[in-house]
Structure 1
Amino acid sequence: MDQGDDGEYTDLDLSELRPGDEPWRRRRFVRCSFVEADLRGLVTESCTFDECDFTGADLGDSVHRAGAFRTCRIVRATLGGATFRGCSLMGASLVDSRLRPIALTDCDLTLAALGRADLRDTDLSGLRMREANLVEADLRGADLRGADLTGARLLRARLDGADLRGARIDPNGLVQARLAGASVDVEQAIAFAAAHGLRVA
Structure 2
Amino acid sequence: MDSRKVRRASVTLPALDELGVYLSNVTSLEGRRGRVVEFQYADANLRELDLTEAHLLDGRIQRLRTQRARFHEVRADSVQFSDCDLSSLKWSGSKLSRVTFSNCKLMGALLEEVTLDNVLFENCKFDYSTLDQVRATGPVIFSKCTLRETTIRTCDLSSVTFEACDLRLAEFEGGTYRGCDLRGNDLTTLRGVAELKKALIDRAQVAELAEALAAELEVTYGEDLDDE
In structure 1, what is the equivalent of residue 156 of structure 2?
143
In structure 2, what is the equivalent of residue 8 of structure 1?
25
- Name the TM-score, length of structure 1 as normaliser: 0.80
Whether 2:54 is the aligned partner of 1:37: answer no
State the shift of 1:109 in Å.
0.9
As a proportion of its length, which structure holds more strand? Answer: 2
- Find the aligned partners of 2:177 and 2:140 in 1 and give their Cα distance: 12
Letter of the structure 2 residue corresponding to residue 117 of structure 1:
S
Which of 171, 192, 195 in structure 2 is aligned with 1:158? 171
In structure 2, what is the equivalent of residue 75 of structure 1?
87
Which of 171, 175, 180 in structure 2 is aligned with 1:167? 180
- Find the aligned partners of 1:163 and 1:50 in 2 and give their Cα distance: 33
Cα 1:22/1:41, change in 2 over 3 Å? closer
In structure 2, what is the equivalent of residue 128 of structure 1?
141
Which of 188, 192, 195 in structure 2 is aligned with 1:181? 195
Aligned-residue CA RMSD (Å): 2.6
State the shift of 1:30 in Å.
2.0
Instruction: Tell me if structure 1 keeps the 8 A contact 2:163–2:185.
Output: no
In structure 2, what is the equivalent of residue 59 of structure 1?
71
Instruction: Tell me if structure 2 keeps the 8 A contact 1:40–1:59.
Output: yes
State the shift of 1:43 in Å.
1.2
Secondary structure at the counterpart of residue 155 of structure 2: coil
- How many residue pairs match? The answer is 188
State the shift of 1:150 in Å.
1.1
- Find the aligned partners of 1:155 and 1:164 in 2 and give their Cα distance: 18
- Find the aligned partners of 1:70 and 1:117 in 2 and give their Cα distance: 19
State the shift of 1:141 in Å.
3.2
Letter of the structure 2 residue corresponding to residue 81 of structure 1:
G
Letter of the structure 2 residue corresponding to residue 159 of structure 1:
F
Instruction: Tell me if structure 2 keeps the 8 A contact 1:171–1:195.
Output: no
Greater Cα radius of gyration, structure 1 or 2? 2
Cα deviations across residues 13-58 of structure 1 (Å, max 9, x unaligned)? x5xx744315111111221234313322221110110111233122
Secondary structure at the counterpart of residue 141 of structure 1: strand
- Name the TM-score, length of structure 2 as normaliser: 0.71
Identity within the alignment, %:
15
- Listed as ranges, the gaps of 5+ residues in structure 2 are 1-21, 212-228
Instruction: Tell me if structure 2 keeps the 8 A contact 1:84–1:107.
Output: yes
- Find the aligned partners of 1:150 and 1:96 in 2 and give their Cα distance: 21
Secondary structure at the counterpart of residue 59 of structure 1: strand
Secondary structure at the counterpart of residue 106 of structure 1: strand
